[in-house]
Structure 1
Amino acid sequence: MKRSAALNDLEARLGHRFDRPELLSRALTHASMSGPGREDNQRLEFLGDRVLGLVMAEALLDRDPTAAEGALAPRYNALVRKETCAEVAAACGIGEALRLGRSERMSGGRRKMALLGDAMEAVIAAVYADGGFDAAKALILRLWGDRIDRVERDARDPKTALQEWAQGRGLSPPAYVETGREGPDHQPVFTIEARLTTGESASAVASSKRQAEQAAAAELLDRLEGRQ
């Protein structure tokens, strides 16, 4: 398969050069674009979810050899949840490279958390199929970066964590304001802004209000605590 400039750029951001670039192409193909001779990324997503889970379980055990299962489970869930996969996908530009049908493109599919998270898992599986477990593990640890080290904070509900931050400083609880809505009624995409009374704010986009609120809270908390 001949590589496009877009695939070359994405390979560079991922840090993996594919021997079989068709695997990456398949990982980026949403079901809305599948058809004769063109496979979508659903089977790869299924595999990538399992590879990600194994890598994260191993990483958490290595970093905290004395932690009980009850302490490890919420950290693990925070690292492998769809929201985190979508954040990582957006950070390395997977959204721009997605192959979507017209309806998905028109409804903001490149920004949808579910599509981004699924594509990230599919890309992990593509790397696994192309280069083996060690290559997939290296990719995951590189892209997740310091999320693994700060997972204890991330394991908390972001809205609860932001409210605790505000209350600890004598502030009113944050407000969540819907500032945008796109797409058809059966598949809306919401933009939510988290606001503090002191003026700080952050926005996020997701396919449900709850997910957008959580993402906006996490974004604002990151800024407030100096992580961005």
Structure 2
Amino acid sequence: MAKILCVEDSSEFFIYLTSVLKDHSLTQAESIAEAFNIVQTGRDSFDLVLLDISLPDGNGMKILPDLKDSFKAKPVPIIILSTDDDIISKVAAFGIGADDYISKPPNSSELRARVDARLRAVKSYQQNTQQVQLGDLFIDSNRMCVEIRNPKGASQVELTPFEFKILKILCSRPGQVFSREQLIDQVWGVGKYVTERTVDAHVSHLRKKISDSSVKVETVLSAGYKATVKDSASD
């Protein structure tokens, strides 16, 4: 059973969605503000979002990128639901990150099939990311194991659970900058009281433990941290 956030102001249409997608758990947000409040306060963890375009406090298309970024711990597909069936609206939606576009009123069988297809794609992606390789670092979430693998052999790196999570997040998206706040939310959990200096301390210990690796954790001034592979020519 997947958890689906429905950003939809029509109670009647939400009832229809719950009947069609009865195998899943649906939560309704009747406005943009309520949707962000539900996501950002960590009241629930969602696997997919159904987003209406016409909402009382704005156009759903305009907040789609920010809503997508709000899900920091995992990729969450967003499907647009709209009475606008023109090609311009569809192209615009896909251009800003929509994963699918379904015209209202949707056919019940088609709606179920397209929602389930997106959920399967996310599950497949998550399974594939259980193992991450960057440079000579191999990270295996199933075994909670980190190894430095090079022509000389493989050596295991002993990390604490928090260090492991930080390293996996950074190495899963090499070059992407993660703020300290993002790392706190993803490693310790939304709403946990953890200071930025705590993050810095864990990163400092992590750097020492992977110093023999080709991977380095860089500080990006006033922004956060990113993982990159060392330039062998400059070493």
Q: TM-score, normalised by structure 2?
A: 0.29
Higher strand share: 2
Higher helix share: 1
The structure showing larger relative contact order (alpha-carbon pairs under 8 Å, at least 6 residues apart) is 1
Q: TM-score, normalised by structure 1?
A: 0.29
